[in-house]
Structure 1
Amino acid sequence: MHSIIVVPPGCDGPAGQLRIAPGQSLGFGRAEHNDLVIAHPGVSRTAGTITAHHSFWILSNDSTGQTYVVENPEGAGEHVKVAPGRQDAPIPFEFARVVLPAAGDLLGFEVWAPSHSYRRPAVSAGPATAPAFALDRTKRYFAVLAALCEPRLRGAPHSPLPTVDEVVERLRPTWPAANRSSVHWNVDYLAVKLRLRPEAETAEAARRLNGKKESLVSLALRFDLVREEDLLALAPTADGAVQP
């Protein structure tokens, strides 16, 4: 059974994919002897190795001077850095993109680990465990949080956060009464609800707000409090697509 699928650059179908079973390895680099040849002068002859395990994979960086980055395309900026010479770094992502810096270019290929397994919740007597973050997705504060997270969830992990005015405009189709004051109030409420550490009282108000927004989005994306499917609650565009 193949547990790991490697998708080379430019691959346009299953025929071009490379599949490895648990315990098997795949070497990549510039030299022709590699299983995955990346013909670029900035890539090491023997650049690294991918080894499959049952539901995850490990990456060895055989270069002497380049750090590799493994991105989670679904993780709003989540990534793992693998330093030069590092061996057997575990990669937990179900979908991943390996990025290799190469003489001014950024080259990449994808690795899929579709055999991820999850434990079924056990049925037990007694009181339920209190949720870590009690958020109601039907409330307006959650719509504000989703609007703040939207750019980074849509594949721009380093983009600046929306301004308060941009959040107001984003929410107005489904919340006509939205205004700057109501968005400010909801940001403050979220900071209290999610137990963020308060800023020093001497800081400027605008700086406090920006820091609070950044902290909220960082926490929400780190713990999957807002996911891409939550953006469906935001207003669609005229053609029916969710506004980017």
Structure 2
Amino acid sequence: MRRTYDRACGSDTAYSVIVVPDDTAGPHEQVRLAPGETLRFGRTPPDGPSGFLTIPHHGVSRRAGEITAAGSHWTLSNLSRTSTYVVENPEGAGEHIKIAPGRIEAPIPFEFSRIVLPAAEDLLSFGIWAPRHDYADEAADEHGGEPTAHAFPLDRTKRYFLVLAALCEARLRGAPHAPLPTVDQVVGRLRPVWPAASRTAVQWNIDYLAVKFRLKQPPESADCGPRLNGKKESLVSLALRFDLVREVELAVLDAGAPAA
């Protein structure tokens, strides 16, 4: 996919949705949208202002659809006259939403999503992250007040929490100065509860946690190598400082515990 996009849209502190094209080379190739901003996609970019994800395939409509960011979710408009789009939750065991032709601003609740477009003989896809999902501490109190939202919202059923727990495990178990595990060691630790764990998947989740925790990283920091170690150290330091992972929660790493 090729895109033309105005990078002034969606500052690092205001974005709530990240669009990840299927051939993304790193964070500098992602599109960040702040609440209220829209990214259009299709086969042919329009004349005028940028803000378009180009999908150069003859089976994709010239104006295929629009993605609009909201506070804790996003919406998808299907501008095709004939094709139904599918939005998959990659961690939802087949969970998906169908967006009928002509449907405008359908709300998408998933934290991770994959938009699948039927295109002639092919199925094309690209990813959407919504890292600003909020999770309240408790339900509204007896006085009817609003619940308090976490500063670092975490869904403990997601695989990224498994990765974070594995990174924090040694220091939580009484070795505060223990070296952090390598990615390969994390993969081995997670195999009992996540049989499909791989080096690529673990690195992907580390990168996603850095986005979710709003750690400011240079674009090239997603590359393998020393910068990844620095990112892990920052993640663990922040997680332990604010009790984002507690020792009791390390039970998710045990084979007998419910898999995240």
| TM-score calculated relative to the size of structure 2 | 0.48
DSSP 3-state at the match of 2:124: strand
Alignment partner for residue 130 of structure 2, among 88, 113, 117?
113
Q: Does 1:28 align with 2:41?
A: yes
Q: Determine if contact 1:62/1:86 at 8 Å carries over to the other structure.
A: yes
**Partner of residue 90, structure 1:** 107
Give the aligned residue type for 2:98: K
Paired amino acid for 1:108: S
Residues in 1 aligned to 2:63 and 2:110: alpha-carbon distance in whole angstroms: 24
Q: Which residue identity does 2:255 align to in structure 1?
A: A
Return the alpha-carbon distance in structure 2 between the equivalents of residues 123 and 63 of structure 1.
41
Residue 57 of structure 1 contacts residue 91 of structure 1 at CA under 8 Å; is this kept in 2? yes
Q: CA deviation at 1:124?
A: 8.0
Partner of 1:69: 86
Q: Which moved more, 1:53-62 or 1:34-43?
A: 34-43
Distance 2:34 2:59 in 1: 29
The one-letter amino acid of 1:36's match is L
- CA deviations 1:104-153 (Å, max 9, x no partner) are 1000000010000011026989xxxxxxxxxxxxxxxxxxxxxxxx9xx9
Q: Which of 8, 11, 14 lines up with 2:27 in the alignment?
A: 14
Q: Does the aligned pair in 2 maintain the 1:4–1:20 contact within 8 Å?
A: yes
Shift of residue 78, structure 1, vs aligned partner: 0.5
Aligned-partner SS, 1:15: helix
- Cα distance change on mapping 1:83 and 1:154 into 2, 3 Å: farther
Alignment of 1:16-165 (within 5 A): 16-33=29-46, 35-121=52-138
Number of positions where the alignment pairs a residue of Structure 1 with one of Structure 2: 139
Which amino acid letter does the alignment assign opposite residue 89 of structure 1? A
- Counterpart AA for 1:13: G
Query: How far does residue 231 in structure 1 lie from its aligned partner after superposition?
Result: 8.2
**1:215-226 correspondence to structure 2 within 5 Å:** none
Structure 1 gaps, min length 5: 126-149, 156-228, 235-241
- Residues 59-86 of structure 1: per-residue CA shift (max 9 Å, x gap): 0000000000000011110100000000
One-letter code of the match for 2:114?
A: R
Q: Is the 8 A contact 1:4 1:57 kept in 2?
A: yes
Which amino acid is 1:121 matched to? E
Q: CA deviation at 1:32?
A: 2.3
What SS does the aligned partner of 1:233 have? coil
Counterpart amino acid of residue 28 in structure 1: F
Q: 1:154 to 1:89 in 2, by over 3 A?
A: farther
1:143-190 CA-to-partner distances (Å, cap 9, x unmatched) read xxxxxxx9xx969xxxxxxxxxxxxxxxxxxxxxxxxxxxxxxxxxxx
* Structure 2 residues not aligned, in runs of 5+: 1-13, 143-191, 198-250
Secondary structure class of the residue paired with 2:28: helix
**CA separation of 1:104 and 1:55: change in aligned 2, threshold 3 A:** same
In the TM superposition, what are the counterparts of 1:179-198 in structure 2 within 5 Å?
A: none
Task: Find the aligned partners of 2:253 and 2:124 in 1 and give their Cα distance.
Answer: 30
Structure number with greater Rg is 1
| Secondary structure at 1:109 match in 2 | strand
Which of residues 214, 233, 239 is equivalent to 2:255? 233
Amino acid at match of 1:3: S
Q: Distance in 1 between matches of 2:57 and 2:106?
A: 24
Q: CA, structure 1 residues 46+118, in 2 after alignment: closer, same or farther (shift >3 Å)?
A: same
Secondary structure of the residue aligned to 2:107 is strand
* Distance in 2 between residues matched to 1:123 and 1:60, nearest whole Å: 33
Contact 1:5 1:113 in 2 (8 A): yes
Q: Percent identity?
A: 57
Counterpart code for 1:32: P
